[in-house]
Amino acid sequence: GEAPAPRLLAVPAAGRGSISPAGMRLRRLRPRPSLAELPPPWGPLSVRSRRRCQSAARGNRGERRSQPGARMEDWVYCLFLFCVVFCARILGFPDGEITPACDSMLPNHGNSVSQTTSAPYRISTSSTSFDPGNNITVTLQGIDNSNFKGFLLQARAVRGDGIVGTFQIIDPNTQGLLCNQVQNSSMSHTNRNSKQNVTAIWVAPSGTGNVQFRATVVQNLSVFWADVRSQTLVSSSSPVDSTSGREGCGTWKFCFSSPTGCNPDDPNCYFMSSESLGGDAFKFEMSGLSDGYIAIGFSDDTQMGNDDIYICGKNATGQIEVQRAFSTGRTSPNILSLGDVQSIMTSFNNGIINCSFITRNPISTQSKAASNLYFIFLAQGPSSAGQIQKHPRTPFITPQKVNISGYEAVGGTSSTPSIIKAHGALMLIAWMTTGSIGMIFARYLKNAIRKTLLGKDIWFQIHLSLMVITVAETITAFVLAFVAAMGWASDAEAHAVIGCIVMILSFFQPMIAFFRPSPQSKRRFIFNWFHAVNALVIKVLAVAVIFLGLQMLDPSPSQWMVKTMGGFVGWEALVYIMLDGNAWLKKKEKYEDPHRKIKNEMVLFLIYTCGNLAFLIALLVGIGKS
């Protein structure tokens, strides 16, 4: 059981040519350490294994010297022990001595990577705030009886990500680790036994700001979850330890913006952030270009209705204020009392509205989400005398439900529902292409094609067919709009009202034409005038409602679709003027050769059709991308 005594070895003195007692010096040899004294992974081993390997190392003078097979067996046995112990040290840290993983918090498990699913573990604390020197009980536990074999737990500052504080070890399955030259600054397991929970006392330091506990939890050699986080513990020395703008997005707060990753100072950027301050407290921030208001909504789905809303907008005196509301979907949201909202900061610079505040109000939706998962709406619109008006554009919406207490940065677009896109496309085709061409045939091309089809003039058959298609498109678009809105909204705007008038007049236009008198009737002129005037009124109103619709669909600051529609109308007006001039000159017999096979009207019509299709395609592409 005792180490062997040191041995002395005589060696020649340096530079001597012969060996003599006088020329010898003594060197003290270090005793060969026993296997029990070697550090892991070599030892300690069991007493029996230790003696067996020592015998193999000495050659076992005596009886085993005459048994080469037994000696070989001893060496194989020792090699086996070496592989088992050493490989265990390579493939993981079963005894929890995982100091090399202090920074990355990742286990050394070969090619294994962290699971991407939600971790079946959580970190709970005895308090959501702390003062320097406080003792906070921290528990890492499995959810739904989930066990784990290994873990690494640290407290990290929300700002800077450094390891802070120390642990007092009270659980026999845990041990303190030396990380960043501070003993017990991290905590890990002591064995590979299955555990359902472990507990420790964390001693809060001073000057760290808000703190969050993070853990890596190992279920088995190939399955582990990294970056399991607790809620944020608020330091009393900095109760509002938060920032504004993009700083901290994806690190200690959730951010949502459009365009993705934009700077809130950019006038084209719409931005919101959510930062958990511990317990029920959240800091919300929102900003964007608006002359009325910016609002964020929390919803269980992507449809407005039963949503909790915070509004940042102008009041009756033009000052920016924060309001809380609840949306029912079809009417203006109901304004609620502000409740537990503090630290309100507002600004209005260069047309950009910005608000930030801290709230402890619970978020109320139709089905309360226990995990803080919601679709986020970010909307902007006008206001009048402090009352918000309907937002003219579809709100920006997150692609999926997000955790407002999490740490990610996502982007969203103001994507118009497909049913609304179809509505807009049908109205555009109806009253800027098929309807317009049908009217041109009836007004200018009666004499350009002197042939019949099914007993009727070709111009009449073309006119009739195109106008029937136009009315059918209008009816379809009308139905789609009502389906999308799920009925009539009490706060319907001019677009909806004028659209209904267009629908009614369009429906009666073919009905009256069906009962028209014969061309020889004395009352024929009444029909002609009514038919022409009604068509003109429908055309004007349809163009107006298309302009209003494109303003709602076009998300770009330049409103290029509205401008393109202006060019569309201008092009059509120019061709109408040219066709009217051609008709006047023909009437005066000063313009067209009667023997020409291709009439001037047809040439102008073909030119008009090419331009019409160019404008139409451009606007349809814009509607599709809206």
Please indicate whether residue 109 or residue 395 has the higher confidence score (pLDDT): 395
Do the Cβ atoms of 235 and 241 come closer than 8 Å?
yes
DSSP assignment of 55-117 = HHHHT-TTGGGG-HHHHHHHHHHHHHHHHHHHHHHHH--TT---GGGTTT-----TT-----S
Place of tokens 């109806």: 430
Q: What is the mean pLDDT of residues 120-124?
A: 90
Q: Is the pTM higher than 0.75?
A: no
Q: What is the mean pLDDT of residues 493-519?
A: 83
- Asked if pLDDT for residue 10 goes beyond 50, the answer is no
Nearest C-alpha neighbor of 606 from the set 626, 578, 587, 625: 578
Predicted local confidence at residue 141, as pLDDT: 92
Q: What are the structural domains of the chain?
A: 7-91 (no CATH), 99-235 (2.60.40.4060), 254-411 (2.60.40.1210), 418-625 (1.20.120)
The first and second tokens of residue 12, run together, are 């020649």
Q: How far is residue 494's CA from residue 504's CA, in Å, rounded to a whole number?
A: 15
User: What pLDDT digit, counting tens, does each position of 527-564 carry?
Assistant: 888 888 888 898 899 999 998 888 877 766 678 888 99
User: What pLDDT digit, counting tens, does each position of 232-287 carry?
Assistant: 787 876 544 445 677 888 888 899 998 888 888 888 899 999 988 877 788 999 99
Which uninterrupted H or E stretch holds 327? strand 320-327
List Cβ neighbours of 598 (8 Å cut-off, separation of 6 or more). Answer: none
The first and second tokens of residue 436, run together, are 């317009």
Nearest C-alpha neighbor of 306 from the set 374, 357, 384: 374
The first and second tokens of residue 545, run together, are 């409602």
CB atoms within 10 A of CB 183: 11
- Asked if pLDDT for residue 41 goes beyond 80, the answer is no
